[in-house]
Amino acid sequence: MLELLAYLQDPELVARFQRRCGLFLVEAAHHSGGRTRDPEPTPVHADKPREQLRGRWDHQDKNSNYKHKENGYAVGGCSKPQYEVRNWLLHFLFLFSAGMGHEIFYITCLPCVHWSVDPFLCRRLVNMWAVVMYVGQVMKDVLKLPRPPSPPVVKLETRVDAEYGLPSTHAMAATAISFTLLLSAPSRIQFQFEVGLLIAATLSSLVCLSRLYTGMHSVLDVICGVLISGFLMFLTYPYWETFDHLQLTSRISPVVALAVPFFLCYTYPELEHYSTTRGDTTIILGAGAGSSVGYWVNEQLGQTFEPQGTLPVPLPTLTADTLALGAARLFVGVVALVGTRQVMKTLSLQVLYSWYKVRKRDDSARRRREIEVPYKFVTYTAVGLVNSIVVNRVFILLGLL
């Protein structure tokens, strides 16, 4: 078993997958100052000692300050090893798939389910998304297992490189979102289950494979992410209906929805270095908390915006008018959410900077727990509230719903 785990954690396994997909780590000889380089970068072979490669990249980093993208080669200087893309179709496919696993994608796309399909399904997806992401992010910072090193792996993302690796929260989120929708939709919408299963498996697989292609996770990270997400769904599935009922009808639901996530964010495990995991987790739980309170308010007001008639309802026909209406709702909704985010972010930071007597130009202050957690939680709680309460009512005023 230990040998199997070590094999799945081996970065060379990721590097081989990247090479099979047409992504190669390359060597490029150049002089100090980065004025020249080989016309044809040389692929790094697996049989070269990793220490030799590491030293070479370190040497190049100290003596270069250039970036090139020529003749089909995507070449980075400074702090990034150089790489060559030989299959652009797979390259863009996996980069797009990786984007589907980022928090910003879910925060902008999950509301579309609320606006154009069924708020009930959006509520289910947000709840499950918040659960699996919190568990995954905390596990990363408790286990502290590193991401695959470069070389031999090509790393195409830098923002999250300071985070730890296991489990892959992209894999967790993609699995939870895809299969929560698949399990929840049959009672609400008429569709062929086999087609839904194929779509869910395809989308989640693309996101998982993209984490290998971008060099951000080992095979073990991805497999564990899928298995943990599946386990959490299996564990919570029998209680989904009960939780829905309590979330919408209990008098203490708004208090619990705000207090518990904020407590979890503020007590998030501390690291010896700054990582984006706490901030990203706060964004997710804040958006979930705001949405939960908003759905409770809608239930109390008796206007839930859910499909009328006998359930499950048929899927709407994709006509030009339907697509235009959906695009208009998307535009108005995104403008409302982005505007809310910008206003609340500015106001909350001003209040916190004044309270803690921090200079407004001190961007590093945003990393302090007492500032980062409250401002992000308040900002995205407001985003969740606007999404669940306000946006649909704006649609009605504009004749879009």
In this prediction, residue 27 carries a pLDDT of: 63
Q: Which of 128, 219, 241 is nearest to 167 (CA)?
A: 219
User: pTM above the 0.85 mark?
Assistant: no
3 state SS of 26? strand
As a whole number of angstroms, the distance between CA 97 and CA 207 comes to 5
Q: How is residue 386 written in tokens?
A: 């606007």
Pull the structure tokens for residue 188.
Answer: 């609400």
* Amino acid (one-letter) located at 144: K
Q: What is the pLDDT of residue 60?
A: 37
| Predicted local confidence at residue 128, as pLDDT | 94
Distance of CA 166 to CAs 196, 201, 217, 223, Å?
Answer: 29, 21, 8, 10
82-85, strands of its sheet edge to edge: 42-43, 23-27, 82-85, 73-75, 68-70
Cβ atoms of 353 and 368 within 8 Å: the answer is no
pLDDT at 162: 72
| pLDDT single digits (tens) 307-362 | 887 889 888 788 888 889 988 998 999 999 999 999 999 999 999 999 988 887 77
Alpha-carbon gap, residue 21 to 86, rounded angstroms? 8
Residue 96's CB is within 10 A of a number of other CB atoms, namely 12
- pLDDT at residue 103, as a whole number: 65
Q: Which residues are catalytic?
A: 170, 217
Q: Do 151 and 26 contact (CB within 8 A), yes or no?
A: no
Which stretch of DSSP H or E encloses residue 294?
A: helix 277-301
CA distance 150 to 133: 26
Q: How far is CA 253 from CA 114, 139, 243, in A?
A: 20, 27, 10
* Predicted local distance difference test score (pLDDT) of residue 71: 36
What confidence tens digit (pLDDT) does each residue in 139-197 have? Answer: 999 998 989 998 889 988 877 777 888 899 999 999 999 999 999 999 999 989 999 99
φ, ψ at 263 (rounded to 5°): -60, -45
Q: Quick check: 180 and 60 in contact, CB under 8 A?
A: no
Residue with tokens 């989904």: 240
pLDDT the model gives residue 375? 94
Encoded tokens for 65: 């300050």
DSSP assignment of 127-191: HHHHHHHHHHHHHHHHH-PPPPPTTTS-----TTTTS--SS-HHHHHHHHHHHHHHHHGGGTEE-
With beta carbons less than 8 A apart as the criterion, state whether 193 and 170 touch: no
* Residue numbers in the chain where pLDDT is lower than 50: 28-42, 45-79
